[in-house]
Amino acid sequence: MMLSLLVLSLPCMPAAAAQDGAPLISGKPPITMLYDARFEAHDPGPEHPEQAGRVRAIVERLQQSAAWQPLLRWPAFSAATRADLLRVHSAAYLDLLDTEQAGVHAGEHNLLSTGDTVISPHSLAVATLASGAGMAGVDAVMSQPSATAFALVRPPGHHATRDRGMGFCLTNHIAVAARYAQQRYAIQRILIIDIDVHHGNGTQAIFEADNSVFYFSAHQHPLYPGSGRPAERGVGAGLGYTMNIDVPPGSNEQVLLHALDQQLAPAMQQFRPELILVSAGLDAHAGDRLGALQYSDAGYGNIATRIKQLADAYAQGRMLWMLEGGYVPVQNANAVEAILAALLR
């Protein structure tokens, strides 16, 4: 398949500098951060909101801070393979991605046959590397060099369904990570928490009939893609394992915090997740380009605290956070710092 060849064909760019094994002052292990400079090779065009700078700003903030350096480790990782992606996506869709990617020689174009996603010459290779970052994050939290991992990836993934790319997304990184955790580590119950301003329709669709994965999303309504109504609770064996929360435009993080406390936490007393994955969209931040919510930096820290409490109660503290949206670079850096500070407490 062309996926591995595409990754190998990217220009060699160094991953972020590593501080593997650096001790945390509190005695806790460092958080594993997953980032690779090759993520910048995905180029949807100069006017597109999903620019490399939105992730680069986070990485530069963390790596240029002497205070953060001993608290984080930055290991290298590999791209997901076709077999890894087939746990989530159909063979026909992966073949289609190969075919369309092969036709992009310069510039960019829309993935017209599957949705509204823009691709450029290296986009598929970058997306596959981002899915691999999620798998590496699972390895980190399961093998315990870290209790927590944060994958600073692009493009986002949570809109990608089994057989369609949409909403800037080509492969569904969080879904790939979940299926990998189940296959590699025999994890029986996984909670996915989606805090992006947009509903993760792809993630919901992939797991809606599965009672081994509980999907929770609190998102602005109305807003793209229009799915994620509270009445959508899963189907078949998965009925009751999907929970959607409408957040009205103009709301701050209190709606989400209330839902975490009053709806998700009680449900987890029965589900008891062994691993928590977070679709960490930052586009609910006040002033973001693509949303109309008003989450604050402190609010993201409070959200992280609530999720950490669930992880400590049920999952031995094991969490993987994966970047989704967030389109104002400095705000992304502020929010991630607030999240990491909360996770390290």
Given the residues 159, 173, 199, 219, select the one marked as catalytic.
159
Q: Give φ, ψ of 291 to 5 degrees.
A: -135, 175
**Alpha helices for the chain (secondary structure H):** 2-9, 53-63, 82-86, 91-102, 123-143, 173-185, 201-207, 254-259, 265-271, 297-314, 329-343
Pick from 69, 180, 66, 189: which is nearest to 131 by CA? Answer: 180
- As given in the structure block, the two tokens for residue 9 are 């064909």
| Pair 204, 215: CB distance under 8 Å | yes
Catalytic status, residue 199:
no
3-class state of residue 223 by DSSP: coil
The 8-class DSSP code of residue 288 comes to -
Q: Give φ, ψ of 18 to 5 degrees.
A: -95, 145
Catalytically annotated residues: 159
